[in-house]
């Protein structure tokens, strides 16, 4: 059992509200981006066997891998990137989505959530597209579950 196997303590909406509060406390974008990068640094290492082409998220500025596991009707995600910011972005998404039921993931408006955090506006267009592709891959896994 890895660190990402833990069930979320809060609902998706409550987790988002907590993140919004944390982002608000950080104030400027420099602090927020640093926080996102720190989230990435805290991700457990992705096993080498998960660093396969099928787990790569297309359309990202950096290489991003996202693997999915199913257990007890929930989806658990493991991820990594060769870029600190992309790794932070995927870590933020895992904080929201890992350990959730597929129906919870599909019912959650990720675009509105990311806009509430103001994250897409702080990223380059290519990185914002990559973030959307990461969300798309998570939603795709939920739809297939």
Options 16, 60, 123, 135, the catalytic residue: 60
Q: Beta strands of the chain (E only): which ranges? A: 64-71, 74-81
Contact 120, 128 (CB under 8 A): yes
Which of 70, 134, 96 shows the shortest CA–CA distance to 8? 96
60 is catalytic: yes
Going by the DSSP 8-state scheme, the letter that residue 53 receives in this structure is G
Residue tagged 């597209």 (tokens): 129
Active site residues: 60
């Amino acid at each position: 059992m890895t660190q990402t196997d833990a069930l979320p303590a809060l609902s998706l909406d409550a987790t988002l509200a907590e993140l919004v509060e944390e982002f608000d406390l950080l104030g400027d974008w420099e602090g927020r981006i640093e926080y996102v990068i720190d989230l990435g640094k805290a991700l457990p290492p992705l096993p080498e066997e998960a660093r396969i082409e099928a787990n790569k998220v297309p359309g990202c500025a950096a290489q991003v891998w996202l693997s999915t596991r199913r257990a007890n009707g929930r989806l658990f995600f493991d991820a990594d990137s060769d870029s600190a910011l992309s790794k932070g972005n995927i870590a933020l998404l895992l904080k929201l989505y890992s350990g959730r039921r597929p129906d919870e993931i599909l019912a959650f408006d990720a675009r509105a959530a990311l806009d509430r955090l103001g994250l897409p506006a702080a990223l380059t267009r290519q990185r914002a597209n990559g973030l959307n592709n990461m969300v798309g891959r998570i939603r795709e896994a939920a739809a297939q579950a």
